[in-house]
Structure 1
Amino acid sequence: MTVDSPGFATKAVHAARNQDAASSRATPIYLTAGFEFDDFDHAADHFGTGAGFGYTRTGNPTVRAVERQLAALESGADAVLVASGQAAVSTALLTVAGAGDHIVSSTHIYEGTRGLLLDNFARLGIETTFIDDIRDPDAWRAAIRPNTRALFAESIANARNDVLDIAAVSAVGDETAIPLIVDNTLGTPFLVRPLEHGAAIVVHSASKFLAGHGSVLGGVIVDDGRFDAAAAGHNAPHLVLPGRAGLASVAARHGGNARIAYARESVAPRFGASPSPLNAFLIGQGVETLGLRVERQSRNALEVARWLAAQDAVESVDYVGLESHPDHALATKYLGGGFGSIFTFTLKGGLDAARAFVQDVRVFTHMTHIGDVRSLVLHPGTTSHASRTEEEREILGVRPGTLRLSIGIEDVADLIADLTRVLEPAREAVA
């Protein structure tokens, strides 16, 4: 056989090849491991400058489109999409910290992140100090050491809805050129954009509100693009010193985008955190309706929280949208368009009441997830916070009767009807 008359196997491999240009209104999905080079010099230029696309682990057009979308929504300069929210936190922290360095973190963070800091990063020689009173700038300031490389917190904490005073804490970091990294998963860029209040980096579990449909995993790191080599270079020698083989420093090549460029070039791809282009596409599709969903979820959550707070069977409701929450004023300052849709409430009947609630709900789904279009419920004390001591759980507002709700987009009347049916026996028991 000749090339003009290929054999069966050759046709099976090559016949579908099409390089015609086409304009798609929806983001095209580039499900490919690698990309064809135009010629010898094109390949050399890609490997020399990083321009264009060569291999999906280091860059993909579908992924890049969603990165631009998320950077724009967070008012960031650029973004890197990764395979999960946990990968986003890991990548962001490893972009700024290394062996012998120190991180100051809020105590009120996702348990997976806490485990990452205490177990995995400790083995890498990165130490962490945790702050209980995150409202106090002096507590953050007192924890900073000469080798501190990042401050880390969540915009709205899971599970007690503690709200971070982003401007105050970022100002503390600015005093010694230490970046504040904010996990904005619960806040979402619809409600708050931490970069606009002084944070340097934002991370998300894109699996949650950004995607919204609970179908895929993903994470994102968004940078403010304001890295100042002169002011912060002493805290980031890996960004300002020349690279191997005389390569110009990351800061020299990328200026204010040095941090995110380092994350893209040297952290995410080398640790294998690259996302599937299909997952990126599904995240991007979800993001298009983010504002509509979060607005409705927040409205539903406020109504449900107010209803729960009025029930005899309920001991307390920790929702920042309620005036009774200690961070309500701070939430009013930072959150626009709603107060979010994830919160906890505690039943007077303790563990037995919580068990009965989880077993009996019909509209609410019992599962480990948040930010879904569906309303979800979980018992933190025996799941997400099971590794905490009883004293630690108490500090975090997680008691035997505490349940976490993630409110979806259902008709709120149906949610309250489900709660009414489930809580009626509990109300009678308390009475």
Structure 2
Amino acid sequence: MTSFATRAVHAGYDPQANANAAVPPVYASAAFDLGDAERGDALAAGEIDGFEYSRVANPTVDALERRLAALEGGVGAVAVGSGMAAVTYALMCAGEGGGRIIAPSDLYGASVDALADFLPQFGIHTDFVNDVNDLDEVASKIGPDTRAIFAETVANPSTALLDIAPLADLAHRNGIALIVDNTVPTPYLLNPIAFGADVVVHSTTKGITGHGNAIGGAIIDGGRFDWANGRFPQFTARQQVISDDRAGVWHSFAGKFGNEAFIKRIRIKYLRTFGAVASPFNAYLTLVGLETLPQRVARQVETARRVAEHLTRTPHVIKVNYSGLGNTPQFALVGRYFPRGVGQILSFLVDGSAENVRRILDGTRLFSYVPNIGDARSLIVDPAHITHREVPAAARVAAGVTDNLIRLSIGLEDADDLIADLDQAIAGAY
């Protein structure tokens, strides 16, 4: 297999199949000529590969999906309109029909809102745990209706790390899937499928695209989970959309697609029906961003570590959350899962009042006050008031998201300049 950097530039795209264009073109077409009646019928039946309607598949988006699958080590991928579309599609596909999900309470705010408040309206309920790495606590929540465990590989904004392998082993012994959000580290820093995760989701808006210019999400299927094990009736029930009722031929997703059953159901049922489609232009921007993913993230990790180390010595900073520092109880997990670093996100707690926090936010000159991560620009935000506003107060406090917490996403600027900017903003706030 070629190196990650080579795959980030070349994987999933054939220039000869695209008029020898060196860069994947933007196919700005809602639909595609079916050719003739026989070919059209075969395309609609899924008997041959091709493109007919961009709500289901598009050549530009297809190149992105193939590249992401190659980078994550999956059997297939579906790109969608946003990271939250990826999260909700993956969880609904696993839990539909009354399933339960096990998840920690320190997830990204919108994910908590979806799991705790919104997905229950669709019959999918969540059993929250305090520590998803506590196997006994997780095991105590597994019941006959449990379908999946969902967690973030690096939590935002605490940077708590997921111990993937033992959690995957626990899940698989009980016939349930492990679905992980790998947005913060990106595939460059971590490949969860290699450690046993079954499905990986991303907000490609973040580090994968890397320039804050395109909203998107992706779901990647590891292709090793048995969706026909009895816990997931939606995968073994016959489905009209993939069958030929005229000929009396009926299929289930597990029967027809085997180890690609999950990702095919995402595309054919969720993307096609709910329609959170990735635009070809956004897919193009994401492909451009992917080409420099290793170089960007490596630089950002190096700078993030320097900034975090400096903040541990900065007046008025009383705690720094960055698992890559080497002084946390989870540091053994860094060596196992994150030899290239844990990412460009860190957070820190300051003393004083909400007014001091406001002055720090308003006092920075290089850091942009933006609710995003993974950008080429360095960003600053107060999670309790912005990214985690919809999380119940008790869950915010349990996750360490208090009013005095500030989150940073480190960009590509010079490390010394970023440190100087934080120093002057913090000093000026007091």
* Runs of 4+ off more than 6 Å: none
Equivalent position of 2:356 in the other structure: 353
Which residue identity does 2:239 align to in structure 1?
G
Report whether the alignment pairs 1:291 with 2:312.
no
Shift of 1:21: 6.8
CA contact (8 A) 2:151 2:179 kept: yes
Report whether the alignment pairs 1:237 with 2:240.
no
Which residue identity does 1:239 align to in structure 2?
F
Equivalent position of 1:257 in the other structure: 260
Shift of 1:398: 1.8
- Give CA-to-partner distance per residue, 1:161-193, whole Å, 9 cap, x none: 111111111111101111100000002111111
User: Matched residues in 2 for 1:296 and 1:21: separation?
Assistant: 33
- Give CA-to-partner distance per residue, 1:202-224, whole Å, 9 cap, x none: 00000000100101110000001
CA contact (8 A) 2:209 2:288 kept: yes
> Could you state the TM-score of these two structures normalised by the residue count of structure 1?
0.91
Equivalent position of 1:36 in the other structure: 33
Q: Which moved more, 1:347-356 or 1:290-299?
A: 347-356
Equivalent position of 1:410 in the other structure: 413
User: Matched residues in 1 for 2:372 and 2:112: separation?
Assistant: 17
Which residue identity does 1:156 align to in structure 2?
V
Equivalent position of 2:50 in the other structure: 52
CA contact (8 A) 1:227 1:258 kept: no
CA contact (8 A) 1:108 1:162 kept: no
User: Matched residues in 2 for 1:385 and 1:328: separation?
Assistant: 26
Report whether the alignment pairs 1:80 with 2:78.
yes
Q: Give the counterpart of 2:104 among 99, 103, 106.
A: 106
**For the aligned residues, what is the CA RMSD?**
1.5
- Give CA-to-partner distance per residue, 1:326-360, whole Å, 9 cap, x none: 32221232112122111110111232221110011
Q: Which moved more, 1:236-245 or 1:150-159?
A: 236-245
User: Matched residues in 2 for 1:21 and 1:201: separation?
Assistant: 30
- Give CA-to-partner distance per residue, 1:266-321, whole Å, 9 cap, x none: 11121111110111111111111111111001000000000000112211101111
User: Matched residues in 2 for 1:322 and 1:350: separation?
Assistant: 27
Which residue identity does 1:266 align to in structure 2?
K
> Could you state the TM-score of these two structures normalised by the residue count of structure 2?
0.91
- Give CA-to-partner distance per residue, 1:88-110, whole Å, 9 cap, x none: 01111122111321111111111
Which residue identity does 1:398 align to in structure 2?
V
Shift of 1:325: 2.4
User: Matched residues in 2 for 1:39 and 1:390: separation?
Assistant: 59
Which residue identity does 1:425 align to in structure 2?
G
Identity over aligned pairs, percent: 39
CA contact (8 A) 2:359 2:428 kept: no
Q: Give the counterpart of 1:317 among 309, 320, 323.
A: 320
User: Matched residues in 2 for 1:126 and 1:353: separation?
Assistant: 41
CA contact (8 A) 1:63 1:281 kept: yes
Equivalent position of 2:276 in the other structure: 273
User: Matched residues in 2 for 1:325 and 1:353: separation?
Assistant: 27
Report SS of the residue matched to 1:381: coil
1:78-157 alignment to 2 at 5 Å?
78-157=76-155
User: Matched residues in 2 for 1:61 and 1:200: separation?
Assistant: 26
Q: Which moved more, 1:180-189 or 1:126-135?
A: 126-135
Tell me the matched-pair count.
Answer: 406
The structure number with the bigger radius of gyration is 1
- When residues 340 and 96 of structure 1 are mapped into structure 2, their CA distance, relative to the original with a 3 A threshold, is same
Report SS of the residue matched to 1:293: helix
Report whether the alignment pairs 1:395 with 2:391.
no
CA contact (8 A) 1:227 1:255 kept: no
- Give CA-to-partner distance per residue, 1:407-430, whole Å, 9 cap, x none: 00111111011112112235xx4x
Structure 2 unaligned residues grouped into runs of 5+? 1-16
Equivalent position of 2:425 in the other structure: 422
Q: Give the counterpart of 1:342 among 337, 341, 345.
A: 345
User: Matched residues in 2 for 1:389 and 1:219: separation?
Assistant: 25
